[in-house]
A and B are shown apart, each in its own frame.
Chain A
Amino acid sequence: MSSNLFARQSQMQPLAVAVRAYVAMVNRNNETTLPFDPSAQGEFNLDQPPQPFFDVGWVENFKRTSATKYEALRTGSRSDLVAQFRSQYDAGVEFDFPCWGKLQMALAGGGQQFNVLATPITSPLMSSGGTAIPAVYVQEGGSVVELPMTADALANFQIGDLVAVDWDYSGQMGYIGSGPAGGYLATALDGPSHVDLIRRVTFNVARVSNVATTSLFLGQSLIGGAQPGMGVQKVCALLDREGDSYFQEWAALFVVAGSTGGRTCFYYPRLQAAASPGETQREVEAPLFANMLHAKLRAMPSIDPNDGETVLCYRSYFPAKNAKV
């Protein structure tokens, strides 16, 4: 620690200019995720988040909220205060994404996040995408950035295309989508007429960076992986809907990286949307404005295995190296 008393004091102020956000998938079948461990992962390079987190960029207007009730237990004719207790645990977080992308829209939108699949001109017009151009299929030997295909299949794609990569739907129920769940089916649908359903909602989406003679190469890793037999279809747009019954669920980590002081991390093991899709408009300088994705999220409970407590959020603070503690 510094021997300079004033420096020790000044380094206690975590001044910052922005908040960085990261998300991690939740296993929806048991509502768990790999935790953020402040001891092992806390002081990471902001551009290289620890596994399993994905960087979703800087956020603005970050605000944590809590509606947990603090209540008093009283007794006697004077109604003396005996104890306090908490009830109706409820907390959330609200912020705006200046950057739009698949994960940002999913987190902010909260419902099913659609990939609008490319259609032939013969397709009927449909609001979340019509009858798609049939999928082509991944061959053996692929990876998260390489999709081996036949020459005929490769002819469907160009550099810069967005593609969705996932299995054909075959009548299953429950959560669907490789990697993070993209949707949930309480009842099975007819397989043959919904063959593209999983690719419509999957998070296994990337942009084509190269079309080689035997493979399609991707500019981003597929977060749900690539396996032989998965179908590949071109994506035209990303879409969400007001009125959706599905709830996305993500773990999220927010980092306030101090320019002069320490680092503060807020880790939410489980977050679901608490409001429908919306945007915040902020003037950059007239007439230019930023159209930001607004996210309002509710923290869902999880168990801290260290003591069995049910918690909604963890806040950790990493003091600056020379700060007084």
Chain B
Amino acid sequence: MQAAKDSFYMALRGRLAQAFPARAIAAGGTTRPALVVTENDQPSVTARQHDAFYLQWGEARPLRPATSTLMAMTCTVSYASAGSDQNGGLDRGRMVAEMQSELLGICSPAVTRKFDYTGATPADLSSSIFWTSPVFRPAKAAPNCEAGEASVTVYFYPEVNQA
């Protein structure tokens, strides 16, 4: 299950860095793609910043336990923006829409190889994970901000001995 989570994150992070290099955050003295997994990062990073994507994993469930080991796991991607200073924050809605476009972009193609990232070198686990298109909805925002959430269902085979 961890391999599926890590592979999804690494796929989106790589695509974000390549397609939208300006979408970055400063953390720990370095700049990195603005995609944070809340269960993995330091509190200083997981404290929500504007103009960044935050991934939170939800329930995981088997889909057809009788005949298949396929599982589905929900991932919620949160984001918010206060707009730009030069526009006095009036473009916050447009900034959120831009982030939604970026998220749609990095979620496609909706498939990636599954790797085990626990070792020094990622190990190819010989299968893929795949996911649904993001479903967007508005989220509660701080004053003078616009926020949104997207749900993505990630499918994977746990590939552990379930005999």
Chain A residues in the interface with B (C-beta under 8 A):
17-18, 47, 57-60, 98, 284-285, 287-288, 290
**CA of A57 to CA of B64, assembled, Å:** 14
Q: Which residues of A contact B30 (CB under 8 A)?
A: none
Q: Is the CB of B67 within 8 A of A98?
A: yes
**CA of A60 to CA of B70, assembled, Å:** 15
Answer whether residue B54 sits at the interface, using C-beta atoms and an 8 A cutoff.
no
Answer whether residue B119 sits at the interface, using C-beta atoms and an 8 A cutoff.
no
For residue A237, give the distance in angstroms from its CB to the closest CB of chain B.
19
Q: Is the CB of A18 within 8 A of B67?
A: yes
Answer whether residue B141 sits at the interface, using C-beta atoms and an 8 A cutoff.
no
Other A-B pairs, 20, CB within 8 Å; known A284-B63, A284-B64, A290-B64? A17-B65, A17-B66, A18-B66, A18-B67, A47-B163, A57-B67, A58-B66, A58-B67, A58-B68, A60-B67, A98-B64, A98-B67, A284-B70, A285-B63, A285-B72, A285-B153, A287-B132, A288-B132, A288-B155, A290-B68
Q: Which residues of B contact A17 (CB under 8 A)?
A: 65-66
Tell me the dominant secondary structure on chain A's binding face.
strand
A-B contacts, 25 of them at CB < 8 A, read A17-B65, A17-B66, A18-B66, A18-B67, A47-B163, A57-B67, A58-B66, A58-B67, A58-B68, A59-B67, A60-B67, A98-B64, A98-B67, A98-B68, A284-B63, A284-B64, A284-B70, A285-B63, A285-B72, A285-B153, A287-B132, A288-B132, A288-B155, A290-B64, A290-B68
Interface size on B, residues (CB 8 A): 12
**CA of A183 to CA of B130, assembled, Å:** 38
Chain B residues in the interface with A (C-beta under 8 A):
63-68, 70, 72, 132, 153, 155, 163
Query: Which are the 6 A-B pairs with shortest beta-carbon distances?
Result: A58-B67, A17-B66, A18-B66, A18-B67, A98-B67, A284-B63
**CA of A181 to CA of B163, assembled, Å:** 32
For residue B98, give the distance in angstroms from its CB to the closest CB of chain A.
26
**CA of A60 to CA of B68, assembled, Å:** 11
In the complex, residue of chain A having the shortest beta-carbon distance to the beta carbon of B63? A284
**CA of A47 to CA of B161, assembled, Å:** 12
In the complex, residue of chain B having the shortest beta-carbon distance to the beta carbon of A16? B66
For residue A184, give the distance in angstroms from its CB to the closest CB of chain B.
33
Q: Which residues of B contact A98 (CB under 8 A)?
A: 64, 67-68
**CA of A290 to CA of B153, assembled, Å:** 16
Q: Which residues of B contact A290 (CB under 8 A)?
A: 64, 68
For residue A39, give the distance in angstroms from its CB to the closest CB of chain B.
25
Q: Which residues of B contact A57 (CB under 8 A)?
A: 67
**CA of A58 to CA of B64, assembled, Å:** 11
**CA of A287 to CA of B132, assembled, Å:** 8
For residue A45, give the distance in angstroms from its CB to the closest CB of chain B.
9
For residue B80, give the distance in angstroms from its CB to the closest CB of chain A.
29
**CA of A58 to CA of B67, assembled, Å:** 5
In the complex, residue of chain A having the shortest beta-carbon distance to the beta carbon of B67? A58
Q: Which residues of A contact B68 (CB under 8 A)?
A: 58, 98, 290
For residue B126, give the distance in angstroms from its CB to the closest CB of chain A.
9
Q: Which residues of A contact B63 (CB under 8 A)?
A: 284-285
Q: Which residues of A contact B64 (CB under 8 A)?
A: 98, 284, 290
**CA of A47 to CA of B163, assembled, Å:** 8
**CA of A124 to CA of B66, assembled, Å:** 45
For residue A317, give the distance in angstroms from its CB to the closest CB of chain B.
20
**CA of A60 to CA of B72, assembled, Å:** 20
**CA of A287 to CA of B70, assembled, Å:** 15
Q: Which residues of A contact B155 (CB under 8 A)?
A: 288
For residue A285, give the distance in angstroms from its CB to the closest CB of chain B.
7
**CA of A290 to CA of B64, assembled, Å:** 10
**CA of A57 to CA of B67, assembled, Å:** 8
Q: Which residues of A contact B67 (CB under 8 A)?
A: 18, 57-60, 98
